[in-house]
């Protein structure tokens, strides 16, 4: 049934023309038996018919109220376009600065960083600002950055949904002080933007007190689902990336996933497969492996989304959630492939590949080297990459590991919008199948409290 659906969709070499706004080519054939020897079969899917119908119904109901819905994140493609004029206006102002410091961590950073890395030009275009993501605490880096930058031409965008994330608040306060010391309060204020909850939190109160421009995060959208809100859209717009196309791609994917039927709705099919391979086939580890070098940070966004949404205790059942692991082709052929092929059979794979990618330079093969590398003659670097992908997928399939391939019709904002919406949707469906709340993160609070306690009391011997 699904087995042949998209078979060989990605087998052609990547040098045909790029159709505009083409959909993702999702090839699930190797997730099923017999192609993937440890894959899912019809009986597994039959058992899941009712839970899948209920999951789809729940998702549909819980998105009906738009941005007020429980799953508001899935309605962003419909509702964020209305905010684009406001985002563009802020972005135009911020783009006048030479350096833009984007301060945020986790959900306030991983998505924008991954998309920026994938879509920015290799070298900045004239007029584009340099973006610096200030995420992790790294004192020497911050010191060097501030020694290197001119406050006059530097803007700060601080992002925290709650408005109180300790890493972000701490670093933002240091940046404010640096701006104020050099420029005075008033001019420092012209170089700050805050992205936070519209009604509550420290950042919101600060913005009101000091009249700092802000952009709101919809209250019902949590950090890891927020890349399609101002959290991701503002930094990306500042970088000159086409955020309208990003939302359009997400909307196109949402429309594609409206059907209740597994065969018509790829998000539902993927959720079912990832879930069944975990609970029925012992595939506890889910490896995300792009063969698209600029997607090397996409896995960071995906791993947060998946782990924090699904890695959860359940009453009377095994804990939910496969471990998401990021890899990168071809690099990890030289690093992880040995283990993938010979170690435990507890893994499944998701490949991302560029269907219509650049062929790149032809490998120039001197006469003397034709005997050594006959297969490189008249081949481009893009063809070498694609042959390595096909070969790796084949050896992984032959070893029995279930795997799926998402063929990207291009590496652009519309395509990545689809990919973002697809995985947010798959994650919510999977949460419903596991019976966990995909929106909370109850276990994380204990560590935050403990860190505060250590800072207050013990640490430093104060």
Is 401 assigned a catalytic role?
A: no
Q: Name every residue whose Cβ is closer than 8 Å to that of residue 437 and which is 6 or more positions away in sequence.
A: 312, 431
In the complex with its own copies, the residue whose CB is nearer, 35 or 376, is 376
Smallest separation (angstroms) from its own copies to the CB of 40: 21
In the complex, least distance from residue 117 CB atom to its own copies, rounded to whole angstroms: 11
Alpha-carbon torsion (411, 352, 417, 223), positive or negative: negative
Between 126 and 364, whose beta carbon lies closer to its own copies? Answer: 364
Contact between residue 163 and residue 203 where contact means Cβ atoms under 8 Å apart: yes
Q: What tokens does 267 get?
A: 């998000």
Name which of 7 and 284 has its Cβ closer to its own copies: 284
Question: Which CB sits closer to its own copies, 152 or 358?
Answer: 358
CB 324 within 8 A of CB 306: yes
Which of 283, 308, 312, 356 is flagged as catalytic? 308
Q: Minimum distance between the CB of residue 356 and its own copies, rounded to whole angstroms?
A: 13
Q: Which is nearer to its own copies, 4 or 138 (CB)?
A: 138
User: CA 317, CA 296: separation in Å to the nearest integer?
Assistant: 35
What 8-state DSSP symbol labels residue 69?
A: S
Least CB distance from residue 325 to its own copies, whole Å? 6
Cα 340 to Cα 121, 296, 396, 404: the distances in Å are 33, 19, 8, 15
User: Which distant-in-sequence residues (6+ apart) come within 8 Å of 178 by Cβ?
Assistant: 146, 151
The Cα angle at residue 404 between residues 403 and 409, in degrees rounded to 5: 150
Q: Which residue number, 92 or 335, has a Cβ lying nearer to its own copies?
A: 335
115 and 236 Cβ atoms separated by less than 8 Å: yes
User: Which of 245-277 are b and which e, b meaning 16 or more Cβ less than 10 Å from the residue's Cβ?
Assistant: bbbbbbbbbbebbeeeebeebbbbbbbbbbbbb
Instruction: Encode 119-130: b = buried (16+ Cβ within 10 Å), e = exposed.
Output: bbeeeeeeebbe
Choose, from 8, 148, 315, 334, the residue flagged as catalytic: 334
Residue 404 CB neighbour total at 10 angstroms = 25
- 308 flagged as catalytic: yes
Q: Which residue pairs, CB below 8 angstroms and at least 24 apart, start in 136-139?
A: 136/105, 136/167, 137/167, 137/170, 137/171
Please report how close the Cβ of residue 124 comes to its own copies at its closest, in angstroms.
11
Of residues 77 and 223, the one with the C-beta less far from its own copies = 223
Shortest Å distance, C-beta 435 to its own copies: 14
Q: In whole angstroms, how close is the CB of 404 to its own copies at the nearest point?
A: 18
Kindly report the length of the chain: 462
CB of 445 to its own copies, least distance (A): 10
- 196 - beta bridge partners? 216
Q: Assess contact for 339 and 355: CB atoms under 8 A.
A: no
Residue 374's Cβ-count burial label (10 Å; 0-12, 13-18, 19+) is exposed
Q: Which residues pair with 100 in a beta bridge?
A: 131, 155
Beta strands in 39-96 (DSSP E): none
Instruction: Specify whether 448 is catalytic.
Output: yes
Nearer to its own copies, 85 or 140 (CB): 140
Active site residues: 308, 334, 448
């Amino acid at each position: 049934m699904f087995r042949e659906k998209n078979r060989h969709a990605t087998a052609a070499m990547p040098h045909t023309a790029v159709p505009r706004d083409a959909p993702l080519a999702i090839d699930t054939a190797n997730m099923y038996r017999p192609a993937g020897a440890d894959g899912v079969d019809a009986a597994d899917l039959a058992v899941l018919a009712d839970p899948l119908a209920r999951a789809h119904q729940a998702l549909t109901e819980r998105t009906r109220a738009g941005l007020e819905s429980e799953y508001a994140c899935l309605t962003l493609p419909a509702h964020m376009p209305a905010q684009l004029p406001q985002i563009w206006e802020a972005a135009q102002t911020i783009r006048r600065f030479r350096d833009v410091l984007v301060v945020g961590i986790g959900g306030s950073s991983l998505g924008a960083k991954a998309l920026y890395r994938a879509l920015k030009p290799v070298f900045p275009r004239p007029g584009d600002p340099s973006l610096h993501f200030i995420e992790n605490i790294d004192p020497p880096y911050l010191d060097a950055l501030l020694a290197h930058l001119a406050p006059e031409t530097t803007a700060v965008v601080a992002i925290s949904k709650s408005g109180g994330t300790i890493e972000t608040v701490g670093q933002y306060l240091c940046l404010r002080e640096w701006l104020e010391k050099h420029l005075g309060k008033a001019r420092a204020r012209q170089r700050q933007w805050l992205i936070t909850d519209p009604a509550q939190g420290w950042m919101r109160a600060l913005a009101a007190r000091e009249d700092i421009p802000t952009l709101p995060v919809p209250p019902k959208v949590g950090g890891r689902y927020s890349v399609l809100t101002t959290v991701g859209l503002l930094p990306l717009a500042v970088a000159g990336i086409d955020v309208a196309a990003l939302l359009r791609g997400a909307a196109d994917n949402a429309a594609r996933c409206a059907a209740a039927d597994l065969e018509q709705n790829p998000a539902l099919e993927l959720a079912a497969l990832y879930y069944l391979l975990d609970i029925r086939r012992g595939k506890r580890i889910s490896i995300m492996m792009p063969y698209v070098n600029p997607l090397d940070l996409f896995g960071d966004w995906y791993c947060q989304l998946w782990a924090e949404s699904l890695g959860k205790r359940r009453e009377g059942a095994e804990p939910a959630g496969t471990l998401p692991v990021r890899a990168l082709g071809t690099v990890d052929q030289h690093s992880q492939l040995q283990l993938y092929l010979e170690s435990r059979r507890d893994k499944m794979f998701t490949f991302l590949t560029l269907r219509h990618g650049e062929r790149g330079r032809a490998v120039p093969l001197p006469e003397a080297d034709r005997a050594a590398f006959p297969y490189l003659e008249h081949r481009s670097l893009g063809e070498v990459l694609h042959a390595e992908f096909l070969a790796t997928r084949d050896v992984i399939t032959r070893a029995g590991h279930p795997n799926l391939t998402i063929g990207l019709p291009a590496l652009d904002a519309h395509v990545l919008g689809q990919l973002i919406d697809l995985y947010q949707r798959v994650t919510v469906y999977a949460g419903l199948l596991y019976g966990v709340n995909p929106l909370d993160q109850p276990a994380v609070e204990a560590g935050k409290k403990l860190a505060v306690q250590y800072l207050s009391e013990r640490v430093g011997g104060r």
